[in-house]
Amino acid sequence: MSTVRDLSRVQVKAAVRRAIENASDEIISLSRDIYEHPEPGFTEERTARAVAKALSNAGVNPETGIAITGMKGLRSFDGDGPTIGVIGELDAVKAPGHPGADPITGAAHACGHHTQVGALVGAAIGLGVKEAAATLSGRAAFIATPAEEFIDVGMRWGLRETGHLGLLSGKQEMIRLGAFDDVDMAMMIHTSSSKAQRRFIVGGTSNAHVVHYVKFLGKAAHAGGAPHQGVNALQAAMLAIAGINAQRETFEAENQTRVHGIITSGGVATNAVPAEVVYEGRVRGRTMEAVDKIASRVEDCYRAGALAMGADLEIVSIPGYLPLENNPDMARAFTRNVGAEFGEDSVMIQADHVNAGGSTDMGDLSQIMPALHPYVAAADGTGHGIDYVIADYRRAVVDSAISLALTVVDLLSDGAAEARGIIDSHRPSLTRSEYVQSQAARLRKINFRGE
């Protein structure tokens, strides 16, 4: 009599796929529900409750409240193989005017993260079948991470000042808290509006970055009656920005440098000289060394603006993200599964150096463990724009769930031989403690008196 142990890998995959297909309405509904209730990073309370409930229903009871709104649920298979993290991001970005935007906060799923959590839950459902339990070796960790979009810097800095956060993005903080200590490799799928005519895109990298939280501090005075008695912090900020713009001709093209920011407070009353102006900025580049070099010059520009006006300055330089390094063996496992499932021409392979200029905290994870961050071409519009919407929910949610789950099946079959091989041959650039220490060391507060 055959037992469940004698199942072929093909049969296990068929059972996993079938379970996800059967749950497709449920996981698409979850994603649509989250789309309707967008929440920016570290405030994803409702989103987290919905995801925790769905994971519990899938038989994975997650530990919640990690890094405020993050969670992690484990599914153990039969043998003692490694643990593969499957990740979904919880947070919305801000895009007022987006059809799914929250009218009060402006938060909107203009980056498609709501479909990632549907795929996460789908993968948890698929890998919950008895055929997987009996034949795979190791564990799957289903991890929902907060705050990938590095926005609302002032709010996050406040959470750090009051002891609620150590590092200021979701994956960064979950690494710091040890949530990835028992995870051996990690993967997720992000949506894309690429018109490459392929269902999935694998490979490429992303920019490193550093985050600046800057206060220009002047002195209020009557803007009509006594402007000479004031110190205009807005003029100081504008001179700083002009200085930054003057640097652009020095940026080397291959470095993919990006320097950009927003003024989140530009003064409080039109008839008073602005006494406090707050700027949230970003410096990005291909390597951390390149970022540091430009960031140092950008800091000089803040000083120059303050000096010109006699304003004071507070700069907080916050460790941002590290470049993404996709693990080639994980990429091969993923590509093989997607090719078998959706056709050999369903995957576009990007060279390692291809860098669209954005950044992700999956980059941080990829520096401490084997990691994979492919894209699913299921959206229309401009990323972070008001027209970025999911064009194909089935592809974004269900196809992604199937691709993630079947890749886990391969990695953990035959005593997790493939996963063990990947882990054995992988040389992370940082250990977990080195990562946490180096990020902590990168945080700097600089005060400058421009008088």
CA 268 – CA 131 distance, rounded (Å): 63
Query: Using CA atoms in the order 236, 241, 245, 251, what is the torsion angle rounded to 10 degrees?
Result: 110
CA 281 – CA 12 distance, rounded (Å): 49
Consecutive H or E run containing 213: strand 208-217
Closer residue to Zn ion in complex, CB, 60/111: 111
Closer residue to Zn ion in complex, CB, 111/376: 111
For the CB of residue 69, give the shortest distance to Zn ion in the complex, in Å.
Answer: 16
For the CB of residue 396, give the shortest distance to Zn ion in the complex, in Å.
Answer: 12
Name which of residues 259 to 288 contact Zn ion (CB under 5 A). Answer: none
For the CB of residue 118, give the shortest distance to Zn ion in the complex, in Å.
Answer: 15
For the CB of residue 419, give the shortest distance to Zn ion in the complex, in Å.
Answer: 26
Closer residue to Zn ion in complex, CB, 139/373: 373
Closer residue to Zn ion in complex, CB, 148/399: 148
Name which of residues 72 to 111 contact Zn ion (CB under 5 A). Answer: 111
Question: Binding residues for Zn ion, how many (CB under 5 A)?
Answer: 1
Closer residue to Zn ion in complex, CB, 111/119: 111
CB 70 within 8 A of CB 146: yes
CB atoms within 10 A of CB 89: 30
Closer residue to Zn ion in complex, CB, 100/305: 100
Burial class (CB in 10 A: 0-12, 13-18, 19+), 332: middle
Closer residue to Zn ion in complex, CB, 111/186: 111
Position with the least CB separation from Zn ion:
111
Q: What is the edge-to-edge ordering of all strands in the sheet holding 137-145?
A: 63-66, 70-76, 137-145, 79-89, 185-187, 371-372
For the CB of residue 355, give the shortest distance to Zn ion in the complex, in Å.
Answer: 15
Name which of residues 105 to 134 contact Zn ion (CB under 5 A). Answer: 111
Q: Residue 140, interface with Zn ion (CB under 5 A)?
A: no
Closer residue to Zn ion in complex, CB, 169/232: 169
φ, ψ dihedrals at 367, nearest 5° = -90, -10
User: Residue 396 carries which DSSP code?
Assistant: I
Give the helix, strand, coil percentages of the chain, each rounded to 5. Answer: 40, 25, 35
For the CB of residue 358, give the shortest distance to Zn ion in the complex, in Å.
Answer: 7
Name which of residues 365 to 404 contact Zn ion (CB under 5 A). Answer: none
CB 331 within 8 A of CB 182: no
What's at 171, amino acid-wise? K
Beta strand 93-94 with 444-449: parallel, antiparallel or unpaired? unpaired
Site string for Zn ion, 239-258 (x = CB under 5 A): --------------------
CA 449 – CA 451 distance, rounded (Å): 6
For the CB of residue 113, give the shortest distance to Zn ion in the complex, in Å.
Answer: 6
User: Residue 373: helix, strand or coil by DSSP?
Assistant: coil
For the CB of residue 190, give the shortest distance to Zn ion in the complex, in Å.
Answer: 6
CA 298 – CA 257 distance, rounded (Å): 12
Closer residue to Zn ion in complex, CB, 108/241: 108
Site string for Zn ion, 301-340 (x = CB under 5 A): ----------------------------------------
For the CB of residue 351, give the shortest distance to Zn ion in the complex, in Å.
Answer: 21
Q: Count CA within 13 A, CB hemisphere, residue 366.
A: 27
CA 92 – CA 110 distance, rounded (Å): 7
| Among 408, 414, 421, CA closest to 372 | 408
Closer residue to Zn ion in complex, CB, 77/200: 200
Closer residue to Zn ion in complex, CB, 48/111: 111
For the CB of residue 170, give the shortest distance to Zn ion in the complex, in Å.
Answer: 11
CA 335 – CA 330 distance, rounded (Å): 8
Rg (the chain; Cα; Å):
23
For the CB of residue 304, give the shortest distance to Zn ion in the complex, in Å.
Answer: 31
Which residues of the shown chain bind Zn ion in the complex (CB under 5 A)? Answer: 111
